[in-house]
Structure 1
Amino acid sequence: MLVLSRRVGERLVIGDNIVITVIDVRSDGVRIGIDAPREVQVNRAEVLEAVEKANAAAAAAADDDAVEALRALRPGSERRPEA
């Protein structure tokens, strides 16, 4: 991990097209601005972890009937008559 010290208004450049700017420094945290292309996802780690936990819990709670009902919703999932 690279650790840097920055002051308000100073920037970090990642690659050719991501710029991180220190906006404000307070006793309880730092505000940063992130300028990145639309195709680059920028997420807070705690939000991603919460979503992953919720998805895992939902998957564990799904029974066979629920799984089949979801599969039936997929395009092209119409059941063909058995021969």
Structure 2
Amino acid sequence: MLILTRKKGEALIIDRNIEIKIMEIEDGKIKLGIEAPKNIEILRKEIYKNVEEENLAAINNKSKIEDIKRLLGK
């Protein structure tokens, strides 16, 4: 993990086409601005985890449905 110290208004560049800028620091919270190409998906980690869990559950359910179909001979 890379840890950087930035002040309000400062930014960093990732892979030449993603810019993360410190917009505001107040009461222990930091507001970030992220500029990235439209094809780059940006999600909060808790949202990403939920999507990942739902995808895994869907895969497991599909497997169960296929097992039921096999048992019923369909």
Question: Shorter-chain TM-score: what band?
Answer: 0.7 to 0.9
Which structure has the higher relative contact order (CA within 8 Å, separation 6+)? 2
Partner of 1:18: 18
Partner of 1:30: 30
How far has the Cα of 1:64 moved from its partner? Answer: 2.5
1:50 aligns with 2:53: no
Q: Give per-residue Cα distances to partners, 1:46-73, cap 9 Å, x unaligned.
A: 1111011112223323422898xxxxxx
Letter in 2 for 1:54: E
TM-score (norm 1): 0.66
Letter in 2 for 1:33: G
How far has the Cα of 1:13 moved from its partner? Answer: 1.1
Rg (Cα) greater in structure:
1
Which whole-Å CA distance do the structure 1 matches of 2:21 and 2:60 have between them? Answer: 41
Q: Percent identity between the aligned chains?
A: 34
Q: Secondary structure at the residue paired with 1:30?
A: strand
Letter in 1 for 2:16: D
> Relative to structure 1, is the Cα distance of residues 66 and 6 closer, same or farther in structure 2, using a 3 angstrom cutoff?
farther
Would you tell me which structure has more helix in proportion to its own residues?
2
Partner of 2:39: 39
Which whole-Å CA distance do the structure 1 matches of 2:9 and 2:18 have between them? Answer: 16
Letter in 2 for 1:5: T
Aligned residues: 67
Q: Which runs of 5+ in 1 are unaligned?
A: 68-83
Q: Secondary structure at the residue paired with 1:53?
A: helix
How far has the Cα of 1:40 moved from its partner? Answer: 1.8
